[in-house]
Homo-oligomer: A and B are copies of this chain.
Amino acid sequence: MGIVLGANEYGKAENRLVRIHRDTARHEIRDVTVSTALRGDFSAAHLVGDQSRVLPTDTQKNTCYAFAKSKGLGEIEDYALTLARHFLDTVEPVTGARIEVAEFGWDRVEVGGSGHDHTWVRRGSEVRTTVVTVDGDGARVQSGLRDLVLLKSTGSEFAGFLVDEYTTLAPTHDRIMSTSLVAGWRYGDASVRGAGIAWDTTWADVRRILLERFATVHSLALQQTLWEMGRAALQAHPEIAEISLSAPNRHHFPVDLEPFGLANENEVFYAADRPYGLIEATVTRD
């Protein structure tokens, strides 16, 4: 039984890139982190150190920066598709390319009641993401977000659960529910081929739906909330094939104030770091 090379890929991770569009006095900004990964037959590089089929990761980095100028950097999905197709089409050994982009939001600084032309303040920790894979089977686009921190101070229960000999948790009909949401939705293959997707507006609308459902669903469990969030996104957007949600349950424990003669009616909480529940679900179409 021989020893052989299995799956492998390589690329340049976390290229930090800021693109300023300054054709007029009112500048626009796109702030992204781009990672590339190439697949193909790179066995010679592994087995005998022959690099003749290996495009350096430094070159991949250069390409990210050059394309931000020559092709522009608008919607991150378009930018990633262009990069991925370039590597697939022009680099002979490459049979598949995956481009990941994380975008950081900026708001214009308010000066005298209106947004300044060329000064911004970072919007927050939330990050918009896309992962684009292009290979012989076509293009796959999964867009989403991460680090979207949500909290509701009521409208969440957890009761009627399975009990075994290691269960000490008391059921509750009113608790804080909080998460740092990671969401990724995959666009249908036909939609991507058709290239008719309005990436920015779709992204904003899915985000709006996720937030609204998180707020308005009376939650019997985080699982139920995730399902309702995902279902609503799919109902509103036929161009989306499926959505995956990963939600850490950021526990907020009511502090026992009885020793101090105080009643704590869900008013004072200890926000714990670890451990945390982790609930993950995909909502799809059959």
Residues of A near any B CB (own CB < 8 A): 1-22, 27, 29, 31, 35, 37, 42, 45-59, 61-63, 65-66, 68-70, 90-91, 93, 106, 109-112, 116, 118-126, 148-155, 158-169, 176, 208, 211-212, 214-216, 219-221, 223-224, 226-227, 231, 234-235, 242, 244, 248-249, 252, 255, 257, 259-260, 262, 264-286
Contact = CB atoms under 8 A, between A and B. Distances in A.
A282 B5 CA distance: 6
B214 A109 contact: yes
Contacts of A12: 275-278
Report copies per complex.
4
A270 B65 contact: yes
A260 to B, nearest CB: 5
Contact of A161 (B55, B118, B271, B272): B55
A273 B276 CA distance: 13
Contacts of A10: 223, 277-280
A159 B244 CA distance: 42
Contact of A62 (B219, B244, B260): B260
30 contacts: A1-B286, A3-B231, A4-B284, A5-B283, A8-B279, A10-B277, A11-B278, A12-B276, A12-B277, A17-B270, A18-B151, A18-B252, A19-B268, A20-B267, A22-B153, A22-B266, A45-B221, A46-B226, A47-B224, A51-B159, A51-B220, A52-B161, A52-B162, A58-B167, A59-B169, A70-B262, A110-B208, A121-B148, A121-B211, A168-B259
B42 A8 contact: no
Nearest to A273: B273
Contact of A269 (B20, B52, B165, B224): B20
B45 A223 contact: yes
Contact of A8 (B255, B280, B285): B280
